[in-house]
Chain A
Amino acid sequence: MLRPRSPRVFVLGAALSAVAVVITGLAALEGLRLTVAPGDEQAESQTQSGPLQPGAIISQSVIARWPGLCRIEVRFSTAGAALVAGQVEFRLQAPYSPLVKPVTQQIDARQITDGQYYRFEFPALPNRIGETLYFAITAPEIDPDAELTLWGSPTPGAYALGQAQFQATPSNGLQDLAFRARYCPSVTYLLDTWLERATANRPGVLGQAWLYLAVICAFGVMLSWIGLVIYGADPVAAAPDPAVTRPPTPD
């Protein structure tokens, strides 16, 4: 088609196109996720819980606003000291959901950095919108002298959809943990939800989802052309120098 000068050039062009398509695709997916399921956050961190000693449990209830919960981030405090040894356990469950199975993760306490959020990541859960989930943090084998606590907010309703709970450790007036919840819904869900919003109140064919999908697909197809345009452009086809071929003539 473009008569690339060698198979190598063709391969380079195709590879370049593939990179362009992948970059755009990833950006589109992340953009759709940010648009449709931006996630929850309780960012207030004025108070620290009581210490997470062996036997203590600190939990927080969360109501899922989107399907596909896939990450919980919790903000720890170590009072400025580095933890030396021990395990910290994260458990997530949805006791009223027939589909969501409990998630359990154990991490080495030394991975925790003072004042930073720690990410507990897991495969997207099959939760429904509105379902209540609970995550709990325990430290069954932590050094009893370690000052491992969780940051949170003493303001009632800082996170309006849930509440923190404490067992065998004081709450210190903390109402909600500082946490972030990330959702990874399916591509179908993301597209359906966005298209529903994008086509609302649009006239005629502009209100049809297939038009948007067709244009997105066409853009992907055209991006796959990019590499061939760049690597396949044939310099032999260049127009001749007018100065040589066409001397200026009086009009």
Chain B
Amino acid sequence: MSRSAVLARQPRLIWPALMPQIGLGLLAAVHGLLYLLVIPPWQAPDETSHVEHTLLWLKLGRTATPADAAAAPEIGQAIADSLYTFRAYEYLGYSAPDPRVGLLRAMPFFGSSTTLGRFSLAYPVYALAVAPFAGADILTQLYVLRLVSVALGVATVLVAYVTARRVASETPELAAGLALLMIFIPQRAFINASVNDGNLAEFLAAVTFYWLVDLLQGGLTGRRLAACAAATLAAVLTKSTALFLVPLLAFCGGGAWLSHLRRAQRWPWLMTAAALMGLVGLSVVIIAWSPASGPALAVLSRGGVGLQQAIAQRLAEEAFGALQWQMFQTFWASFGWLRVNLPEPLYVFWAAIALIGVVGLPLGGWTLIARRQTSVGVTLLLGAAFCWLVPVAVYFVVPASAPLHQGRYLFPGLVPLGLLVVAGWLGLVRRPRASLALLGLCLITLDALVLWGTALPYFYR
């Protein structure tokens, strides 16, 4: 029976069923707008260079290089002037350069942040959105771009909600909980209210995950496989932190293919075998097609050859614990250019939220996800997603070369991660709604304390 036929049988349920989505979408939008307004201009990681690259893309119609920036100095000049206007250096604890620096590239700190020369699908998307405002001042353009980010964030929440309903339709609390978690992770709200290529990558990763679930639940069709491959490719082309989707696609595609051949969907070992087969082929194809194949292949080769070595190296570092703590902090909330840290008790609360989710998963959370006839594949998918996010954490969040460690690079994997955490919460007690209520209140309280109690005094005192 087709989906439309099912819905046609339940016409009175369509509108009520959509209301939570509308409500959560509006909540995500308003919450995003609040962050957009409260966070001062240029006070998000690399926002200056993302805006510069977008405007150069708009002007040139291609990926810009540092030479292009030099040939179009008016953009860098406008950003540099704006940095002075909005006391950007004061927020960092520095004095603004005196005499005044006229170009972004020549400015200390902000000038060293660059995305030029690096392809990302995010720039043409942002450029398209800001095209009607090509003649506007730099601040108007910045806020138009921030608005696009908020819209992407809302879309991501909605896709996550729909995905969670597919995963556990008998437990609508799981979908609501995932949406609330995504809305009220302060760092995600903060990044989604700023200009950043990660926002599109997160959205495309969520779309990919939806199609992967659809593939596993609905069976192999050309349309589904094409949708999965297209979404994965787009996500990888946007940001390399989405590379974990490639093995996931291979895993699911191979599994669905073998299941399709055997006319059976309840053989987990087939999925595992398929992963090995599909991994090589699809990974190579997608990576090879990608214009970002150079850095992507470099990452994969590191992953293939040196993952164990890299982990051992990290473990040997004296500051390993501190790095992990920094990763945890920057996953939940660290505003500005990672300078606005919160009182540690707040992070402890988030750690407790994550821990409760982990503990609750084997105690009852799995049963929420694995209740369906088609849930074996989805369960494996969630497990595989979690495993494949580890290399992301090792290579992108805590890279050996960079002094900053940013948990936000895990956001493209937020749908599977969030599903696991929320399922753990809901599985702990017999009444998932009570558990969801507690989780929701915890998240809302922490977000309020961060936004109003930390960000506001930091930026406006």
> Which residue on B lies nearest to A3, using beta carbons?
B16
B290: Cβ under 8 A from any A Cβ:
no
B residues 9-64 touching A (CB-CB < 8 Å): 10, 13, 16-17, 19-20, 23-24, 26-27, 30-31, 33-34, 37-38
In the assembled complex, the Cα of A79 lies from the Cα of B30 at a distance in Å of 55
B residues 386-429 touching A (CB-CB < 8 Å): none
Interface size on A, residues (CB 8 A): 61
A42 to chain B, nearest CB (A): 19
Q: Mark A28-53, 1 if CB is under 8 A from B, else 0.
A: 10111011101000000000000000
**Which residues does chain B contribute within 8 Å of A20, judged by CB atoms?**
440-441, 444
Q: Mark A165-196, 1 if CB is under 8 A from B, else 0.
A: 00000000000000000000000000000100
**Which residues does chain B contribute within 8 Å of A31, judged by CB atoms?**
451-454, 456-457
A27 is contacted by which of B169, B170, B374, B453 (Cβ under 8 Å)?
B453
A160: Cβ under 8 A from any B Cβ:
no
A residues 5-26 touching B (CB-CB < 8 Å): 12, 16, 19-20, 23-24
B448: Cβ under 8 A from any A Cβ:
yes
B314: Cβ under 8 A from any A Cβ:
no
B323 to chain A, nearest CB (A): 30
A120 to chain B, nearest CB (A): 25
* Range for the number of chain B residues in contact with chain A: 35 or more
**Which residues does chain B contribute within 8 Å of A242, judged by CB atoms?**
166, 217-218, 374
A241 is contacted by which of B139, B180, B374, B437 (Cβ under 8 Å)?
B374
> Which residue on B lies nearest to A199, using beta carbons?
B37
In the assembled complex, the Cα of A112 lies from the Cα of B23 at a distance in Å of 52
CB <8 Å contact, B166 and A239: yes
B172: Cβ under 8 A from any A Cβ:
yes
Q: Mark A211-251, 1 if CB is under 8 A from B, else 0.
A: 11001101100110111111111111111111111111111
A183 to chain B, nearest CB (A): 13
> Which residue on A lies nearest to B266, using beta carbons?
A243
**Known interface pairs A27-B445, A31-B452; A197-B460 also in contact (CB < 8 Å):** yes
CB <8 Å contact, A241 and B457: no
B221 is contacted by which of A216, A240, A251 (Cβ under 8 Å)?
A251
CB <8 Å contact, A23 and B441: yes
A31, A235, A236 — most chain B CB neighbours (10 Å): A31
B2: Cβ under 8 A from any A Cβ:
yes
B461: Cβ under 8 A from any A Cβ:
yes
**Which residues does chain A contribute within 8 Å of B1, judged by CB atoms?**
240, 245-246
CB <8 Å contact, A223 and B37: no
CB <8 Å contact, B23 and A228: yes
Can you name 7 extra interface pairs (CB under 8 A) apart from A215-B30, A251-B221? A194-B460, A215-B34, A219-B31, A233-B173, A244-B373, A248-B221, A248-B259
Q: Which 5 A-B pairs have the closest CB atoms?
A: A248-B219, A31-B452, A27-B448, A237-B17, A238-B169
- Chain A residues near B (Cβ < 8 Å): 1-3, 12, 16, 19-20, 23-24, 27-28, 30-32, 34-36, 38, 194, 197-198, 201-204, 206, 211-212, 215-216, 218-219, 222-223, 225-251
